Amino acid sequence: LPEIALAGRSNVGKSSLINALVNRNGLARVGSTPGKTRVINFYNINDVLMLVDLPGYGYAKVSAKERQSWSELVETYLTGRKQLKAIVLLVDIRHQPTADDQTMIRFIRESGYIPIVVANKMDKIGRSQLKKQLDLIRTTLGLDESIEIIPFSAVKKTGVEALWQRIEESLPESTEHGW
């Protein structure tokens, strides 16, 4: 099956986003201890695609050794992964992306993927802040205007359709969409 991977800092809402995407509560584990997700979780979506939940990064209390094992795990997964069609980078719309996010976006690019950037927790900011925050994310991640940032709220389920559409566009033509 084609795979779509999801990456982001711990606590950015990756599990919540997966739940919002598949519209089922209690599928992904939400609110797990930050920094403790040390495996890659695969979610089979209707036998059409796999959502691949990469372990969160950037948790402050993580040792150098754990960072190393994170990098090895993720690099091993990403390297030569033919069925991987896109990587979604999830950031928090309230904050400037971190150095780890910048590393991740570079990593995505160097692996030959065009990132799908999702700005989560938009329910936490006012409408008037939206453009400023999106610009901050764009600038910090070095995204040109051709890359759309999808404002998202896993809580309010805002942006779900836009994200599904981007995911669909990344899938091979032959993929039969069962949703």
Contacts to ligand GDP by CB under 6 A: 8, 10-16, 30-31, 56, 120-121, 123-124, 153-155
Q: How far is the CB of 174 from ligand GDP (least distance, A)?
A: 31
CB of 32 to ligand GDP, least distance (A): 6
Q: Is the Cβ–Cβ distance between 40 and 73 less than 8 Å? A: yes
Q: Whose Cβ is closer to ligand GDP: residue 29's or residue 109's? A: 29
Shortest Å distance, C-beta 121 to ligand GDP: 4
CB burial class (10 A; 0-12, 13-18, 19+) of residue 79?
Answer: exposed
Q: Would you tell me the crossing angle of helices 130-141 and 99-110 to the nearest 10 degrees?
A: 60
Q: Is the CB of 118 or the CB of 136 nearer to ligand GDP?
A: 118
The strands making up 41-45's β-sheet, listed across from edge to edge, are 41-45, 49-53, 3-8, 84-92, 115-120, 149-151
The Cα–Cα gap between 8 and 70 comes to 12
State the virtual CA torsion across 94, 98, 100, 104 in degrees, nearest 10.
60
**Nearest distance from residue 85's CB to ligand GDP, in Å?**
21
CB-wise, 109 or 124, nearer to ligand GDP? 124
Report the residue number, 3 or 151, with the smaller CB distance to ligand GDP. Answer: 151
